């Protein structure tokens, strides 16, 4: 995969990396920064479907499906690596172990999406947001981007709301409640989970869908 990479490049916060409807010639892997999968509705509303962090491929599924059915946007300044889609198809067809790793990544991505559907459809606003905090701690730990129970959390309240189906005002209110309960602190774009066990219980968080072993204690 390293030999197949053509180059790395940088994008600015807010830049659209791939638009819905495009047929990308490259698969993008995140080296640094955060992005999101999202849908832009005709009325201008935005629905963020998941966050992407270092180590995540943005669009590996285009090696089979060709067309993007959603968009990818940078939530922070980012560094990405480009892989030619044809080279990626060759890897998937001729290199079993690499193909298996890519397939594993796709399956975990789908598992996260399923959990987000449950989160949006069944949990009240407080547990909904707490669940995402739990998920991001584990994912960022795997990526080597979290220290103990603390990590950089660069999202605005508007971006949080777009992923939770909440207005910025409601998001602010929920965050304030989580702080008051002594569950989290959020200062200078850094989130710290103050009581991991209580936050898990409050959000009904079960990390099984992330299929990993590097779990916080």
What range defines the domain where residue 27 resides? 7-95
pLDDT at 3 over 60: no
> Per the structure, how many domains does the chain have?
2
Is residue 107 assigned to a domain? no
DSSP H stretches of helix in 123-188: 125-142, 157-164, 168-180
Q: Are residues 29 and 72 in the same domain?
A: yes
Q: Is the pTM of this model over 0.85?
A: yes
Share of the chain above pLDDT 90, in %: 73
Higher pLDDT, 101 or 180: 180
Task: Note the pLDDT tens digit of each residue in 13-62.
Answer: 999 999 999 998 899 999 999 999 999 998 989 999 999 999 999 988 88
Supply the Cα-derived Rg of the chain in whole angstroms.
17
65: Cβ contacts below 8 Å, ≥ 6 apart: none
CATH number for the domain including 56?
Answer: 2.60.120.10
pLDDT tens track for 75-89: 999 999 998 988 888
Alpha-carbon gap, residue 102 to 22, rounded angstroms = 21
Rounded Cα–Cα distance for residues 106 and 57 (Å): 9
In the block, residue with structure tokens 């998920």:
135
């Amino acid at each position: 995969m390293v030999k197949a990479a053509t180059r790395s490049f940088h994008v600015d916060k807010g830049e659209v990396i791939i638009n819905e409807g495009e047929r990308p010639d490259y698969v993008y892997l995140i080296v640094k920064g955060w992005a999101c999968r999202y849908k832009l509705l005709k009325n201008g509303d935005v629905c963020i479907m998941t966050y992407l962090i270092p180590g995540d491929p943005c669009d590996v599924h285009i090696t089979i499906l060709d067309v993007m059915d959603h968009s990818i946007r940078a939530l922070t300044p980012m560094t990405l690596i480009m892989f030619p889609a044809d080279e990626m198809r060759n890897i998937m067809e001729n290199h079993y172990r690499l193909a298996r790793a890519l397939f594993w990544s796709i399956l975990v991505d789908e598992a996260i999406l399923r959990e987000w559907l449950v989160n949006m459809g069944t949990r009240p606003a407080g547990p909904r947001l707490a669940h995402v905090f739990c998920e991001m701690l584990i994912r960022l730990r795997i990526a080597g981007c979290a220290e103990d129970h603390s990590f950089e959390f660069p999202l605005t309240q508007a971006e949080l709301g777009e992923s939770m189906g909440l207005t910025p005002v409601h998001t602010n209110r929920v965050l304030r409640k989580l702080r008051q309960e002594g569950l989290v602190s959020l200062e200078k774009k850094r989130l710290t989970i103050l009581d991991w066990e209580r936050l898990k219980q409050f959000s009904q968080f079960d990390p099984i869908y992330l299929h990993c072993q590097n779990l916080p204690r």
